[in-house]
Amino acid sequence: MKNERKISDVDIESVMGRLLITGVIISGALILFGGVYYLLEKGLSIPHYKTFVGEPSHLRSVKQIFKGVIHFDSLSIIQLGLLLLIATPISRVIFSVIGFFFEKDYLYVVISFIVLIIIAYSIFSVATG
Amino acid sequence: MTVLLFSLIVLAGSFLAGLVGALTGLGGGVIIIPMLTLLFGVDIHYAIGASLISVIATSSGAAAAYVKEGISNIRIGMFLEIATTLGAVGGAMIAVYAPTDTIAVIFGFVLVFSAVISLKKKNENLVQYSGGKLSQILKLNSSYPTEHGEISYAAHNVPGGFIMMAIAGLISGLLGIGSGALKVIAMDHFMKLPFKVSTTTSNFMIGVTAAASAGIYMQRGYINPGLSMPVVLGVITGAFLGSKILVKSKTKWLRVLFACIITFLAVQMIYNGLTGKI
């Protein structure tokens, strides 16, 4: 009994590890691509990060970011990569809910689900904006 | 300074931050924010946004390696994430009302506190076979591989650790850092987990905690793609290298390095916050 659970745990952990690496690589590639494109475009201009003005609305919501990516806007491509990076640990929590369910560890299905609801509360504000 | 030069320097600095962040389990954020604000004069709001994203990258990149090594404890991580995510959402909500100099001073004190606590007590390779009743119900007790074979450990003072984690989450959401130091304190000092289990599980949790407040930050326009790009790319590569080194290096050396860096940065942040330079 104890052995069976141990094997399941190792399975969950190894899939989780691959999930995290995949998320980081894909978002990293998007950010790198958008970044090189951005530097080629605006590399010789002067940055202005000294005072906070807030990002324009087209870089704040999921819908607007996708719109910018379709128009091949370099900053929108970077922002999409950043969005994917935020999604990576969230996908890990979603996977945990499923993994613990197959492991029949219902206590941890509930615990993972609570974490998911709390994060959903925060992400909901971006998705609808 | 042009965008190109600025991006390259920030990229190099972030690489170092990611490396040290992964080695100490505190995430890149505590180094990224002082670097951007003190060295480059970036507004602390942008620094917080970029840092928060980099913290997710550090955690995810390094956690992938730790998870495979079997050092981090996914049950302890998931259970305590209830506390950290709740705190993180609360902290992000408060952040909008806090002025920049106040944030800088709070930031400094959090760093000093982390440095003092991290040097106070050393319980390395603690072997205990029974924890409290709560840790048994929650199945928090486990074992981890060392060079002397598998070592069993148990979780103590679960409520204390949980409350400390909520505070860590609050600080993370407020300052845009992973607050890995506070997470390590909760697990190392309150719950009496072995140091390596604490640092790796902490690293594992940081991404989820930061993601919980990241949505709120992006909505508010704290996340600047032009600035975040070199920060994230530098941190990912640095953290990747750091996770390769961690398993081999000694924990005592880690603690001293950790304490020295953050004390230095803390003094700088408090001074600049009090004199209104941030």
Residue B124 phi/psi, 5-degree rounding, is: -90, 145
Q: Are B255 and B31 in contact (CB under 8 A)?
A: no
Q: Are B209 and B186 in contact (CB under 8 A)?
A: no
Average pLDDT over residues B81-90: 94
Q: Are B177 and B21 in contact (CB under 8 A)?
A: no
Residue B276 CB neighbours (<10 A): 9
Instruction: Give the length of chain B.
Output: 278
Flag the least confident range among A51-65, A73-87, B11-25, B51-65: A51-65
Which of B60, B82, B89, B94 to probe the A interface (max A CBs under 10 A)?
A: B60
Q: Are B207 and B27 in contact (CB under 8 A)?
A: no
> Which member of A13, A38, A49 has the closest CB to residue B67?
A13
> Which member of B67, B85, B233 has the closest CB to residue A16?
B67
Establish if A24 touches chain B: CB-CB under 8 angstroms. Answer: yes
Q: Are B151 and B194 in contact (CB under 8 A)?
A: yes
Q: Which amino acid is present at B203?
A: N
pLDDT digits (tens, 9 = 90+) for A14-58: 787 888 889 989 999 999 999 999 999 888 888 777 666 667 777
Cβ within 8 Å of residue A4, ≥6 positions away: none
Q: What is the pLDDT of residue A129?
A: 47
Matching residue, tokens 């790319």 = B233
> Which member of A44, A85, A88 has the closest CB to residue B4?
A44
- Joined tokens for residue B59: 């955690």
Residue A15 CB neighbours (<10 A): 15
Q: What is the pLDDT of residue A7?
A: 52
Cβ within 8 Å of residue A105, ≥6 positions away: B139
**pLDDT > 90: percent of chain B:** 22
The count of C-alpha atoms lying within 13 angstroms of the C-alpha of A111, restricted to the half-sphere facing its C-beta, is 22
Q: Is the pLDDT of residue A71 over 90?
A: no
Residue B144 phi/psi, 5-degree rounding, is: -140, 150
User: What single DSSP character describes residue B37?
Assistant: I
Measured between CA atoms, how close is B177 to chain A, in angstroms? 14
A85, B232: Cβ pair inside 8 Å? yes
For A27, nearest residue in chain B (alpha carbons): B57
B78: Cα separation from own chain's centroid: 16
- Which residue intervals of A43-105 are DSSP H helices? 62-70, 74-102
The count of C-alpha atoms lying within 13 angstroms of the C-alpha of B69, restricted to the half-sphere facing its C-beta, is 22
Measured between CA atoms, how close is B192 to chain A, in angstroms? 22
Of the segments A88-97, B40-49, B247-256, which one has the largest average pLDDT value? A88-97
Measured between CA atoms, how close is B74 to chain A, in angstroms? 8
In DSSP notation, B205-251 reads HHHHHHHHHHHHHHHTT---HHHHHHHHHHHHHHHHHHHHHHTTS-H
Beta bridge partners of B152: B143
Q: Which residues of A touch B86 (CB under 8 A)?
A: 118
C-alpha to C-alpha distance for A118 and B209, rounded to whole angstroms: 10
Q: Which one is predicted more confidently, B62 or A129?
A: B62
- Which residue intervals of chain B are DSSP H helices? 3-24, 29-34, 44-69, 74-95, 100-120, 133-137, 158-175, 180-185, 195-219, 225-246, 251-274
The answer, yes or no, to whether ipTM is higher than 0.95 is no
Average pLDDT over residues B120-146: 69
User: What single DSSP character describes residue A52?
Assistant: -
- Joined tokens for residue A96: 């945990």
> Which member of A49, A82, A114 has the closest CB to residue B53?
A82
Chain A, 64-123: which have a CB under 8 Å from a chain B CB?
A: 75-76, 78-79, 81-83, 85-90, 92-93, 96, 105, 107-108, 111-112, 114-115, 118-119, 121-123
Model pTM? 0.84
Burial B30-69 (b: 16+ CB within 10 A, else e): bbbbbbbbbebebbbbbbbbbbbbbbbbbbbbbbbbbbbb
pLDDT digits (tens, 9 = 90+) for B19-52: 877 776 566 677 888 889 888 888 888 888 899 9
Confidence bin at A1 (pLDDT 50/70/90) = very low
Q: Are B185 and B118 in contact (CB under 8 A)?
A: yes
Residue B128 CB neighbours (<10 A): 15
For A33, nearest residue in chain B (alpha carbons): B229
Matching residue, tokens 């959090």 = B110
Question: Rounded to whole angstroms, what are the CA distances from B37 to B170, B207, B265?
Answer: 21, 23, 11
For A128, nearest residue in chain B (alpha carbons): B219
C-alpha to C-alpha distance for B234 and B253, rounded to whole angstroms: 24
